[in-house]
């Protein structure tokens, strides 16, 4: 968890007052430490109200929640670069992602920001403040959320829509995956760096296809569980989660399966049957209509999308996350 925000004002206004409000709105994503950086200052505190960064036209901020041992509060800085990095790089060699990325900005910051998208495998968004310029980027698959918008006072970016709504930005857009955004001289420019394209198709044998797919799956999963001893997996007993569970077990990580189902449904009994076939323990949570009614406002607030299909997916995942946390 964690969240990032960035603001640059149109004209000579103070951006930090907008940034503080945005960080406050997203404090549920990280409240162990709060950080703000401007061109001339950087401050991290355990209490958002204790931040005293001086006024600045442009600023970036971060809400911190420690998940892995090497995670550290942000923003981080090196020479003239201030950086927030929200997400993960795979595989992680037990090093703070923010420090890893910061090291890439040593020579030509704008060019290096593009190389991050071109070269790094991961799920992330970042905001870099370099000599008054704001550079923002998002991973090519769009795995980590990032939104942006503007009004008559500011351009702003944030992990959640509600942070932008809180400062009066009504037309909030999803930042395009694989793009770099740069604000300088009062203008926002978006540049595609690594955008997914339909690959060239070729005919191969079924055996070769299976071997290649297996290699890709094992490589991808191995990268993502590197350094982890125990993981929880949302488990339905379907093809996707069953393959993930079996591969992680084979790779030697301690896997705890978590299955959820509505009262009277036979889905969870199938999930338990498949879990037994794979040879992994499974926790089961059965929810009732009243349980769904109780969590709907929370889930709506979290996903920021009233689409019924999105809700039907998010509610079970909420129960899985809750069970995993317990």
Full pLDDT tens readout for the chain, 326 residues: 799 999 999 888 899 999 999 999 999 999 999 999 998 899 999 999 999 888 899 999 999 999 888 899 999 998 888 999 999 999 877 777 888 787 777 667 677 888 889 988 999 999 999 888 899 999 999 999 999 999 999 999 999 999 999 999 999 999 999 999 998 777 899 999 999 888 888 899 999 999 999 999 999 999 999 888 899 999 999 999 999 999 999 999 999 999 998 877 777 788 989 999 999 999 988 889 999 999 999 999 999 999 999 999 999 999 999 998 88
pLDDT for res 124: 95
Q: 175 near 147, Cβ under 8 Å? A: yes
Please name the residue ranges forming H helices in 103-228.
109-119, 161-165, 206-224
CA–CA distance, 3 with 24 (Å, rounded to integer): 11
Let me know if 267 is exposed, middle or buried by CB neighbors in 10 A (0-12, 13-18, 19+): middle
Closest by alpha carbon to 71, among 53, 56, 89?
Answer: 89
Phi and psi at 257, nearest 5°, equal -85, 140
pLDDT for res 160: 97
pLDDT for res 107: 66
CB-based contacts of 282: which residues, under 8 Å, 6+ apart? 235, 256, 257, 258, 259, 271, 272, 275
Closest by alpha carbon to 193, among 85, 97, 115?
Answer: 115
CA–CA distance, 190 with 318 (Å, rounded to integer): 34
Which domains are seen in the chain, by residue range?
A: 3-192 (3.60.20.10), 206-325 (3.40.50.620)
CB-based contacts of 212: which residues, under 8 Å, 6+ apart? 204
Tokens 């190389």 belong to residue: 115
pLDDT for res 278: 96
% helix / strand / coil in the chain, to the nearest 5?
35, 30, 35
pTM for the model: 0.91
CA–CA distance, 172 with 160 (Å, rounded to integer): 10
pLDDT for res 173: 97
Closest by alpha carbon to 102, among 127, 120, 78?
Answer: 78
Cα 271 to its chain centre, rounded Å, is 28
Query: If you compute the radius of gyration of the chain from its CA atoms, what whole number of angstroms results?
Result: 22
pLDDT for res 113: 85
pLDDT for res 153: 93
Beta bridge partners of 44: 35
pLDDT for res 228: 87
Running DSSP on this structure, what letter comes out for residue 198? P
Give the E-state strand segments of the chain in sequence order.
3-9, 33-38, 42-45, 58-64, 76-78, 81-89, 122-130, 133-138, 147-150, 154-158, 173-174, 179-184, 187-192, 230-234, 254-262, 282-287
């Amino acid at each position: 968890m964690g969240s990032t925000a960035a603001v640059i004002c149109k004209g000579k206004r103070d951006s930090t007052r907008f940034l503080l409000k945005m960080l406050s709105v997203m404090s549920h994503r990280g409240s162990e430490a709060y950080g703000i950086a401007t061109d001339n200052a950087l401050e991290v505190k355990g209490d958002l109200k204790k931040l005293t960064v001086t006024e600045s036209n442009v600023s970036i901020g971060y809400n911190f929640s420690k998940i892995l041992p090497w995670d550290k509060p942000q923003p981080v800085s090196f020479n003239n670069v201030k950086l927030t990095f929200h997400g993960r790089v795979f595989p992680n060699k037990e090093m703070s992602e923010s420090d890893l990325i910061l090291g890439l900005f040593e020579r030509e910051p704008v060019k290096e920001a593009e190389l991050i998208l071109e070269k790094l495998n991961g799920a992330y968004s970042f905001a870099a403040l370099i000599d008054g310029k704001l550079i923002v980027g998002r991973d090519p698959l769009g795995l980590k959320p990032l939104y942006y918008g503007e009004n008559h006072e500011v351009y702003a970016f944030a992990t959640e829509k509600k942070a932008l709504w809180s400062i009066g930005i009504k037309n909030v857009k999803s930042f395009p995956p694989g793009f770099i955004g740069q604000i300088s001289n009062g203008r926002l420019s978006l540049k595609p760096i690594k955008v997914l394209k339909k690959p060239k198709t070729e005919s191969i044998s079924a055996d070769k296809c299976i071997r290649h797919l297996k290699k890709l799956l094992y490589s991808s999963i191995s990268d993502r569980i590197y350094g982890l001893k125990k993981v929880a997996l949302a488990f339905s007993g379907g093809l996707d989660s069953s393959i993930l569970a079996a591969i992680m077990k084979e790779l030697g990580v301690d896997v705890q399966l978590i299955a959820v189902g509505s009262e009277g449904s036979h889905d969870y009994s199938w999930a338990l049957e498949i879990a037994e076939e794979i040879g992994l323990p499974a926790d089961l949570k059965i929810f009732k209509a009243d349980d769904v009614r109780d969590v709907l406002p929370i889930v709506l607030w979290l996903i920021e999308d009233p689409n019924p299909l999105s809700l039907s997916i998010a509610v079970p995942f909420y129960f899985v996350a809750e069970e995993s946390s317990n």
